[in-house]
Amino acid sequence: MDELSDLKGQFLASLNHEIRTPLSGILGMTDLLLETVLTEDQREYVGATRSCAENLLEIFNATLEFSALSANHIRLEESEFSLRETLHGLISEFAPKAEAKGLRLIGNLDSCLPNTVSGDAVRMRQLLSHLVSNAVKFTNEGEIEIRAAAESARESTVPINIAVRDTGIGISSDKLASVFECFQQIETGLARNYHGLGLGLAVAQKLATLLKASITVQSEVGKGSTFSVSLSLRLASDASPTLAEVPELRGHILVVDDNSVAQTIAGHALRRQAFDVQCACDGRAALEAASQHQFNLILMDLQMPGWDGFETAERIRSLPGYADIPIIALTANCSDDYRDRCLDWGMQGFLSKPVRTKDLVAAVEEQLV
């Protein structure tokens, strides 16, 4: 039996190399080709080729991962890692895919999340990646939200709850019970709109078992789904022993910007200075975030799809507790007239893009003294 298992492992390793090598070549060469001068038709053909190669790689990865998990060839490796950075990395990874479909990707990380924990960050991120990928795949309009919160610490461990909510096609009640089984598809037959082997959620379930986590799902056809993961992580040796001591924060800040890269830059710069940061990709998401949490300051991009920064600021001002909250405008328009317009709308600060991170932090600190 051990010999058969070893032979299977060698076969999978060989298959992994032999398929990944040409796929890497296809993806790499199409990237190079897309950097050259192409006609509109040629760019469309190359883009379609790359998309097919990415889909093939995704299917291949899921197949190998499922086989390795089924054969118990994956072992957990525990190490200390930043939970927030891991979750922000996940959000940054999927933001371009969501934006390409016209979807809003919202990160909602509770301020009580511990900073440093101990566990298998790679396997945890793989598990969550399958859930977010599934949400992006089956959502055609609306939004995807990644929520994370912590419960009270129990001795050296802390229970973490992470939910991936989408406004996608949803799952009928008769299929909810089998959604985590392998090769299951929400759609069946020859007229399927969504292709794939149906392994993503099955792999997620196996990873959850490996991590001693649990996954639950709530869904309604036409309104979307919420996949929730509950797991316990060890507090790092240098981390505070209780959650009450963790969030020694200087303030809660909402960053409103439709550019995911700008969100990431502002978020990293401010978190390094002990600020808790939540991001919103447009005015509606910002209003929803502000209605659910009390922020001490808002960084507001002025040019966004839908509501612009002025309308968004006005709507947030109407919420209880937000009449006097500092709002700092972020804009590429640096004229004095525009600056005066921001002040007339009741904004307390004005920053011209591109903004150096030290200037961003200084402007925030000035308002929160």
| Total-model pTM | 0.58
Instruction: Assess whether 114 and 186 both reside in one domain.
Output: yes
Map residue 245 onto helix, strand or coil: helix
Q: What is the CATH number of the domain that holds 296?
A: 3.40.50.2300
Q: What is the pLDDT of residue 283?
A: 93
Distance between CA 215 and CA 209 in Å, rounded?
Answer: 9
Can you give the pLDDT at residue 225? 94
Q: Give CA–CA dist 205/94, Å, rounded.
A: 20
| Number of domains into which the chain is organized | 3
| pLDDT confidence of residue 135 | 93
Q: What is residue 181's predicted lDDT score, i.e. its pLDDT? A: 75
Residues 230 and 288 in one domain: no
Regarding whether 271 and 135 lie in a shared domain, the answer is no
Residues 98 and 20 in one domain: no
Residue 173's CB is within 10 A of a number of other CB atoms, namely: 10
Question: Is residue 139 domain-shared with residue 190, that is, in the same domain?
Answer: yes
What is the reported pLDDT for 300?
Answer: 94
The low-confidence residues of the chain, meaning pLDDT below 70, are: 1-17, 21, 70-73, 182-198, 237-247, 333-337, 354
Which pLDDT score is estimated for 183? Answer: 52
For position 298, what pLDDT does the model report?
96
Which of these three, 235, 265, 284, is where a domain ends?
235
In a domain, 143, yes or no: yes
On whether both 37 and 185 belong to a single domain, the answer is no
CATH number, domain with residue 151 = 3.30.565.10
Domain assignment of residue 51, given as a range: 2-70
Q: Rounded to the nearest 10 degrees, what angle do helices 283-292 and 309-317 cross at?
A: 20
Task: Give the whole-angstrom CA distance, residue 266 versus residue 281.
Answer: 13
Among 235, 268, 290, the domain boundary falls at 235
Distance in angstroms (rounded) separating the CA atoms of residues 355 and 363:
11
Residue 339 domain-assigned?
Answer: yes
Output the pLDDT for position 109. Answer: 86
Domain presence at residue 240:
no
pLDDT at 246 (0 to 100)? 44
Span 142-186, pLDDT tens digits: 999 999 999 877 778 899 999 999 999 998 888 887 787 765 555
The last residue of a domain, from among 14, 49, 70: 70
User: Are residue 290 and residue 183 in the same domain, yes or no?
Assistant: no
- Residue 174, pLDDT score: 83
H helical segments located in the chain:
2-34, 40-70, 83-100, 121-137, 173-176, 200-210, 260-271, 283-292, 309-317, 336-344, 357-367
